[in-house]
Amino acid sequence: MTVKEKIDQLRAELHQHNYNYYVLNAPEISDKEFDDLMRELQDLEKEHPEYQDDNSPTMRVGSDLNKNFTQVAHKYPMLSLGNTYSENEVTDFYERVKKALNEDFEICCELKYDGTSISLTYEDGKLVRAVTRGDGEKGDDVTDNVKTIRTIPLVLHGDYPKSFEIRGEILMPWVVFEELNREKEAREEPLFANPRNAASGTLKLQNSAIVASRKLDAYLYYLLGEELPCDGHYENLQAAASWGFKISEHTRKAHSLEEVFEYINYWDTERKNLPVATDGIVLKVNSLR
């Protein structure tokens, strides 16, 4: 086996073990075995810089180099969601869709995760760009920082489109948020108001090594592109999950208004038991046709 082949093998193994641990929550090796593989790869990459790869698993540890964020225009604008606060408004929305389509339809019900929005671009199965929402038309390129988030795949597996965007939410879990605020309080520094502000502030740090240490998480919820695998939003999310993305296990398809309200009412109380913050429910017509 050549050095290049060994490096490629280690990268593939580490990507798979990372996915097993952080996305599937089903590790197949011990932390020590993972660290040993990582050190072996780091040593080989240091000895052979000619084989550098921006999507290597070693990129997840971050760097202490400063960087200025470049603004990037979104290919597809990142629009704000419409809000509703009453059952009557939800019913009106459902009836408008029913009248407009004049056929059976499904509503995709999702938790609205309370973090900072991100748009990820993949080409040939590799993460090439991560951009914040910004003003909806353009945002900051935070690719290096996003690469430190273990639940965001750097390299995909399976049958994925050649080029696409996937959008989601970068989150700081409650336990990480509470620990971070305890540390800030001990240093007599201002506390973060909520996990959303903490996630947003962390993503904009100039030191990606600190970003890596804060254990951000991510849920992806919207696939965009010219060659999507399915005609349904829910089905596209399941396809994305098979490529390595972390998709909420709580997303459901509703076939009636009653099922929509069952979902809303259930999560009105159960959301308090989630490991990350949410601030509502998102309803989407499932069909993309």
Q: Is residue 17 part of a domain?
A: yes
Residue 58 corresponds to which tokens in the numbers above?
């070693």
246 catalytic per annotation = no
Average pLDDT over residues 23-35: 82
Gap between the Cα atoms of 58 and 183, Å rounded:
27
pLDDT, mean over the chain: 90
Q: Which domain holds residue 32?
A: 1-59
Q: Which residues are paired to 220 by β-bridges?
A: 168
Percent of the chain at pLDDT > 70 equals: 96
Q: Which helix (H) or strand (E) holds 161?
A: none
The CATH code of the domain that includes 34 is 1.10.287.610
**Count of domains for the chain:** 1
Of 112, 126, 184, 253, catalytic: 112
What is the reported pLDDT for 62?
59
What is the reported pLDDT for 69?
85
What is the reported pLDDT for 278?
94
Query: Percent helix, strand, coil in the chain (nearest 5)?
Result: 40, 20, 40
Give the rounded distance of the alpha carbon of 178 from its chain centre.
21
Q: Is residue 26 part of a domain?
A: yes
Of 214, 205, 145, 150, residue with least CA distance to 183? 214
Q: Please identify which residue in the block is written with the tokens 């999950």.
A: 241
Q: Is residue 6 part of a domain?
A: yes
The string of pLDDT tens digits covering residues 241-263 is 999 999 999 999 999 999 999 99
Gap between the Cα atoms of 207 and 204, Å rounded:
9
Of 219, 208, 23, residue with least CA distance to 116? 219
pTM of this prediction?
0.82
- Compute how many other C-beta atoms are within 10 angstroms of the C-beta atom of residue 10: 20
Where residue 156 falls among pLDDT bands split at 50, 70, 90? very high
- Compute how many other C-beta atoms are within 10 angstroms of the C-beta atom of residue 97: 13
Q: Is residue 45 part of a domain?
A: yes
Of 196, 76, 62, residue with least CA distance to 142? 62
The phi and psi torsions of 232 (rounded to 5 degrees) equal -115, 140
What is the reported pLDDT for 67?
59
Residue 82 has pLDDT above 80, yes or no: no
Residue 66 has pLDDT above 70, yes or no: no
Q: Is residue 184 part of a domain?
A: no
Burial class (CB in 10 A: 0-12, 13-18, 19+), 210: middle
Q: Is residue 20 part of a domain?
A: yes
Q: Is residue 182 part of a domain?
A: no
Q: Is residue 7 part of a domain?
A: yes
Question: Of 29 and 186, which is predicted with more confidence?
Answer: 186
